[in-house]
Amino acid sequence: MFYETRDNAHGLPHDPFKAIVSPRPIGWIGTRGKDGSVNLAPYSYFNAISDHPKTVMFSSSGRKDSLRNAEETGVFTTSMVSRTLAEKMNLSSIDAPYGESEFDIAGLAMAEGRLVNAPFVAEAYAALECRVTTIFEVNSLDGAPSGSFVVIGQVMGIHLDEAALTDGLLDMAIAAPVARMGYMDYCDGSQPFQMRRPAWPKA
């Protein structure tokens, strides 16, 4: 089958777009507002986009609390969602009024960033402290605004729980990072496989 996204007439019970672009890592974004309130929210439009400097991004569909706080303070954190934390991550996705702490709602301990004024999930095996470099609204081909906002942050510091390390490597069997798939589906990365990039044969 083939369909054009202009009409999106796929004829299926649900739009398959998000299921096709999957699995997507979850950015569990921690922020603090200018008023001192804290926010924690999961974003599946999230990824690493650069290693030099270390840079990540998340995209907010609409002007949500994480976007507001990142704009106001210029910082955010992102915590790794492990399989053991998946249900609490889901609880933190609730559409709570601004100022309500999703850490409290989900029963999570809050840790403070060392380099940025933003909290992260204390139980997470890993967390990144980030400073905002760019925020922009995505536009369509005709220049129309989409209502989706991309937040790019440079990673300033990394927290890593040594309990998730085996022989100096982050052990995915322990960390079991959760990713978002299509519909209501999730997966975890506890069963990785390895491949080496091929080398072009020398003349």
pLDDT in tens, 132-153: 999 999 999 999 999 999 999 9
The H-assigned helical ranges of 30-189 are 65-73, 86-91, 102-106, 172-175
- What count of other Cβ atoms lies within 10 Å of the Cβ of residue 24? 16
Closest CA to 150 of 76, 46, 24, 28: 46
- What integer pLDDT is reported at residue 44 of this predicted model? 96
- Please report, rounded to a whole number, the percentage of residues in the chain having pLDDT higher than 90: 98
pLDDT over 90 at 203, yes or no: no
Distance in angstroms (rounded) separating the CA atoms of residues 133 and 123:
27
pLDDT in the model for residue 56: 98
Residue 64's nearest CA partner among 133, 185, 140, 150 is: 150
Q: What confidence tier does 97 reach under pLDDT thresholds 50, 70, 90? A: very high
Mean pLDDT of 175-179: 97
DSSP assignment, residue 115? S
Which residues make Cβ contacts (< 8 Å) with residue 193, sequence separation at least 6?
A: none
Question: What gap in Å lies between CA 25 and CA 72, rounded to an integer?
Answer: 25
pLDDT at 157: 98
Residues 177 and 25 sit within 8 Å (Cβ to Cβ): yes
As a whole number, the mean pLDDT across the chain is 96
Is the CB of residue 135 less than 8 Å from the CB of residue 121? no
